[in-house]
Amino acid sequence: MTASPKMAFVAAAFAALALYPLVGGSFGIDMVTKTMIYAIAALSLELLVGSTGLVCFGQAAFFGIGAYAAVLLSAQVDSPSALWLLPACVAAAALYALAVGALSLRTRGVYFIMVTLAFAQMAYYAVHDTPLGGGTDGIYLSQPPQLAGLDLGRPQVIYGLTLVLLAAVFVGLALLLRSRFGRALAGIRVNEQRMRATGFSTYPYKLAAFTLSGGIAGLGGFLFAVKDGFVNPELLSWHVSGALLVMIILGGLGRLRGALIGAFAFALLQELFKSEAVWGALARHWNLGLGLTIIASVALLPRGLVGLPQRWREALLGRSPRGSAEAAR
């Protein structure tokens, strides 16, 4: 794909999302809103894994901190406003990411993965085993915040806000990765040792990317809390981090649109395998079908779903000479 078809695809996708509430029912709007929220979280992880080469297994912690901050802070005032609540949730997640990154980025490889997982589990047990966030039962949002007089508790309003923020995050990251900062991250991903050998200090760049990634994940957590009106410790569990990692791999690492495609593909596969109308009693074992499908997708599509058009084009070009030879005979 050239740049124009890629941009056209992304623009068409966002246009379709903008028009969906006109034709979709309440269940569909709720599901698409949830998927867009996870797409924001997937984009935050794509910044680390696909753009910087840092495999973080603690992204759920930043997502959950953003969600818990929304619930806990909104309970402190009578009429919470999203104008201050949203930045506060993003800042809370970013500050925790800054602390985690300052320590974990001094390690590499599997040690980095384990340290980020350990910090995520610490955050998980902080809300799971203490009354801070309601313990294992979770905690409800006392009242949805307001934004310019709009009630974010209404499905159409939170859908619109989520779509706008998803587009803003996507465009912002696309511009960032084309900047000098983004080129530095690409260099770190390809060969960090060579970057250091040339006198380039990689640690500040990685820490900035890690902190920004945590803030974006916290934004997704804020939206999740406002949409559902309820949060529990499972939002910070390693299962969520694993699901986000699967999304970006399924969609295609190293491409922002891959995170979007992967999030929606993952959500659709979940709904498909959970459907009793399709699978009957087997729907209770939906995790098995989902897992086998993802394994097959990764094995057959190493570049992810975003690389599928190129794979088809290569296959067609590969057959065309044989087809021409056979036609000549």
What is the percent of the chain where pLDDT is above 90?
Answer: 51
- pLDDT of residue 156 exceeding 80, the answer is yes
> Which residue did the predictor score with more confidence, 135 or 111?
111
| 270, 290 contact by CB (below 8 A) | yes
- Quick: pLDDT tens for 206-259: 999 999 999 999 999 999 999 988 999 999 999 899 999 999 999 888 889 999
Q: How far is CA 285 from the centre of its chain?
A: 25
d(CA 267, CA 247): 9
- Quick: pLDDT tens for 19-77: 999 898 888 999 999 999 999 999 999 999 988 889 999 999 999 999 999 999 988 88
SS3 151: strand
| Architecture (CATH level 2) of domain 23-328 | Orthogonal Bundle (1.10)
- pLDDT of residue 327 exceeding 70, the answer is no
* pTM > 0.85: yes
Between the alpha carbon of residue 185 and those of residues 48, 120, 191, 195, 326, the distances in Å are 9, 24, 10, 10, 48
User: Domain limits of the chain?
Assistant: 23-328
Ramachandran category for residue 199: left, alpha or beta (phi over 0 → left; psi -120 to 50 → alpha): left
Overall residue count recorded for the chain in this entry: 329
